[in-house]
Structure 1
């Protein structure tokens, strides 16, 4: 029995709750994973999992064993990557999930530059806005605006996602511009449906805190669709600046209620703790942090104009 391979298989099954998914992520067959787990259970003389036709979960012994093994596997992978980093450039396939708001319009250029800098890394980019557990779904890293959903995940924040209410000049000429957040209730509004606060909105102006229900006449999980709707003059739309900046700067859209601040979200790389020092993940995350800088390019002119802080 190769003890480390068996322990690695055990950790992956524990994290994914699936022999088949662990096999896929490790690039072996399910029977190989089963054999390695059986050998490990024989070695420790105790069952590590409770198995049924639908569920795989850790036994009491398995839970205690996992806490130690996860750290061991993570440390071995870290040391291996450190040694490789001394001798070579990163190589292999990197499977990532990317948020649509950033993927469309902002990720193409850094993706091309990253590919030139690290030609040995093949990228498999899945674009959607779901909050995922990278371990369960087999991603090396997920880029998202919501906090990690498991304690075993690491979050590296890359930039603030600022948001503004805006509308076309024609809409505001016809309907007037809201001067207070509660006046939004008198307008046709279109909102992103994926925020964790749902219909509950909080805006601040100095010491004033405005909390309100704003259901929205139109809701969508696509910020690009909402931007396109706003450009038709259909109503007031709340948009992240990463998709609205160009339209705001050329005057196609006008910012509203800039004196009131919506709390920013954070665009972050989320990845398993066992990938903390994985060379491919580290290369991509550090590259994006360097490429984006302390403030993303689309926000700098908005900050200069005082529209966002």
Structure 2
């Protein structure tokens, strides 16, 4: 299924969102969890993504006793001095909540299957993550999340009908928690090495959106979770504001470091643009350009 591509002008501020790239070490190398969005989803139906979603009002207003770290530390870690502290904290909570809701995993928490089910049940009732954690005698395990990047949808969007301001986090998946799709927002949960995910995309077996393509390309440059997490801590989150345009009938999305992007300093190694051709987004140079 090809993505529906339109160069559409979008109004309004982008919606604060959070997503988590859950990682684990495996015999084949570092693997990341990917979820196939329900085919009827209004945004990116059928596309393989990382767990995540919009900031919810219940994610805001966390008291200090609900957190494992100070609120100001979380904002500093995001490297967003202009973001309100409550919003910064809420983004971490949204990342944890969405991951628990969508795949039944809570990074950084020691919970058995019954505890995870009980927490998901409370969330399904509309209770906050703080409430669900308190019922288990836990604080929000924000230390399990390391900021990776921040993607802001441009006003001229290509593959979504809404604007998002999404913070991408990386986290080690707990070894004793099994990821399972929720059969509501997602219909499949699969562990893949970044190389395998990109190869499947190239072979037409799965669909990916540009943020997932470029994120997988960066994950593919690491072989172990520890090394990746340490690299993320050292580098800090990259700010990515894609700039799309059409050139001779081809949609082109440029990223920092590209000659057509307003920011000339690259934020990652590898390609700085994707072209929509052959019914998908691909870099100049093909699949090899996405891999180390």
Q: TM-score, normalised by structure 2?
A: 0.25
Q: Rg: which structure is higher?
A: 1
Give the structure with the larger helix fraction: 1
Q: TM-score, normalised by structure 1?
A: 0.24
